[in-house]
Amino acid sequence: MGLASRALCGAAGAAWRESFPLGGRDVARWFPGHMAKGLKKMQSSLKLVDCIIEVHDARIPLSGRNPLFQETLGLKPHMLVLNKMDLADLKEQQVKKIIQHLEGEGLKNVVFTNCVRDENIKQIIPMVRGLVESSYRYHRGESLEYCAMVIGIPNVGKSSLINALRRQHLRKGKATRVGGEPGITRAVMSRIQVCERPLMFLLDTPGVLAPRIESVEMGLKLALCGTVLDHLVGEETLADYLLYTLNRHQLFGYVQHYGLDGACDDIASVLKQVAVRLGKTQKVKVLTGTGDVNVIQPNYPAAARDFLRTFRSGLLGPVMLDRDVLQRPPLADP
């Protein structure tokens, strides 16, 4: 057995932090309060659409979805697209639990997708069509087209979904700008065609977070998935929560990825090793009794940014951040 394998075996039996220190963190400051304007625009456009397509991150299938979507847009047929499935730990038992919990919330139309690779994209158009045509409000009249509104919190892949549908059904390129950080789509856009037969249009919308986040831990999960800018939470705080989560789930891919000596629960130690491995160090002058001395110090923020980027790109393996929530019993089906 190699040194790396022995280190991982030892890590699997180690005792990790049972909880993450959440005190003193002002979660309200992390989430911008101007998003009500976007929700009002969506409400005013509701009469133009037949169906709501809510997109969310598959790594947090039960956390952070905006409850106001269901309350204010719930008049229309509603489906949930859990995107970034390639980044989520979706073992068969996990998927069953997710479906049970969502059905308990009254959501029976769920699709897991990876919009970058067009996985399961073909299911969406037939599902939208079926939802609309089975709706008791369905009065098609002379119109033979469908229109759905794409909603969700920031940076879950709403624009990527629209572009994937266009690639799949129209063989056309990007219609909406896509970015790896929240806030790329800033206004409710005009209708975008995604299919010819049936004729279907989608409305892209800006990401809208819930006005109040349930808990600091939910806020940290949302931030890990990139729904807010990292500096609002603190890159080293986020990196520490990521390390805590990976160790608790016994996911030690970070040890092999960075070539560390072994798994560790101390974020300062991990970031120091990451910084040295990546050459992310900086010279700092230290005043001593004999004069100024140049000391090489690890660049902790740069190491934290790389740790987060590596996780978000899937290089540390698939993760289910809602594992704790999935262990609770689902709500009764309303």
pLDDT in tens, the chain (334 residues): 343 444 444 455 567 988 888 776 777 666 666 566 777 778 888 888 999 999 999 999 999 998 888 777 777 899 999 999 999 999 999 999 999 999 998 889 999 999 988 889 999 999 999 999 888 765 656 667 899 999 999 999 998 999 999 999 998 867 655 545 554 444 555 689 999 999 999 998 888 888 778 888 999 999 999 988 888 889 999 999 999 999 999 999 999 999 999 999 999 999 999 999 999 998 888 877 777 788 889 999 999 999 999 999 999 999 999 999 999 988 765 5
Q: Kindly state the DSSP code that residue 114 receives in the 8-state scheme.
A: B
Any binding-site annotation on 155? yes
pLDDT of residue 89: 95
Cα 104 to Cα 248: distance, rounded to the nearest angstrom: 27
Any binding-site annotation on 84? yes
Any binding-site annotation on 157? yes
Q: Which domains does the chain have, with CATH numbers?
A: 27-204 (3.40.50.300), 234-327 (1.10.1580.10)
Any binding-site annotation on 159? yes
pTM: 0.87
Any binding-site annotation on 207? yes
CB atoms within 10 A of CB 318: 17
Any binding-site annotation on 156? yes
Tokens 């409850």 -> residue: 67
Residue-wise burial string across 177-186, b where 16 or more C-beta atoms lie within 10 A, e elsewhere: ebeeebebbe
pLDDT of residue 4: 42
Distance of CA 151 to the CA centre of its chain: 14
Any binding-site annotation on 83? yes
**Residue 262, both tokens:** 């072994």
CB atoms within 10 A of CB 313: 10
